Structure 1
């Protein structure tokens, strides 16, 4: 059996004192194999995005991992220094955020933003970096990649901005791709295109995908494995067909009943 790209064991993240519960997430465990998509599903406040930002080392200062471990390709992320986490982000793990305008710098062209990422993580000369950026813009099906290179984020549509963010997340072929509600702000047609794009890139690169969503319809479309979370706790996990067709938890059945 393959070794998991990402393994989370008994992870608990504490909330500041005085909240409605002590932990944002409590003793959550999961494994994702190469080429596999694991969907973490739950309503707002379930802790699914906290899990994603903890893996990426982007957790806000008010939140604190207090138990468990996160292992990426055999390396503990909770033991890693901030410098090491910066090295891993982009190279070994990439993230697609829900709102691309918060992930992109409004005063830099899209080409310069991707080039900055490549300059940080590679020793490629400028000509090679530019060629690679144009190639990845074509892979994510952006129209007129040369124009996209020179464009600022506000000059693009929401779907195009999200494709730029995806291009940045996959350009160095990370072993793990984290997608945090990447289609929520998009119309239905663009949403389907983005989901198809992520699936295609995953197949090409063999990445493991941790996909955060509240939408059971999205789960049915892309998931291999599913983890259902409620109030910071994992209430059910298993392969997609089992969870969707034979759910064991009442909460999972409630989520499924809300799908048209």
Structure 2
């Protein structure tokens, strides 16, 4: 029985981590591992087709888990590639110093708090995030997909949702978070929390915030830049201070 279970795990036919003898995550993680409880078989099949299509659209080879020796601490439990972590710590120190100065001067529209919500994450966690977020993306696009040729689960719907998800969440192994080069910030201004949810209200609040304005004006001095292909004002990628 144990031999059969191991074989099924290696082929991705049952849920469970695909781990090699060395402890590394096997990539790419197969769509057969995706689970979606309480839905019809055709919905689960559609989910897996969207995942496969998004993986097929990805360029290059997936990134495996980073060795712990290459990672550095940012704060709390957040880690990133050592150079990224150092740059992020320096940025946070400067930003918090400016927040403190503005509070002391009683300036308006000041940020109250800045945190790191997400930094390095292994491909296995990216897979879990993809699986967790898919039902929301599915519901958000249901009306649009229903109007496509083939219906809400047809080939065009697969393509539509793969592109939709791709603007919000990279497939496992293809995110700069997996490479230790991306930081997702969070914050608070007054009673308003600035989170990493992709809802239109949160994105609008982020772009109108003093924190986002400070990052837009200053983050490049510390090597961090926005990815203009995605609409995530909290997501900043480390490219070094020599980046254009």
TM-score, normalised with respect to structure 1: 0.27
Bigger CA radius of gyration? 2
User: Which structure shows the higher strand fraction?
Assistant: 1
Q: Which is bigger in relative contact order (C-alpha 8 A, separation at least 6)? A: 1
User: Which structure shows the higher helix fraction?
Assistant: 2
TM-score, normalised with respect to structure 2: 0.29
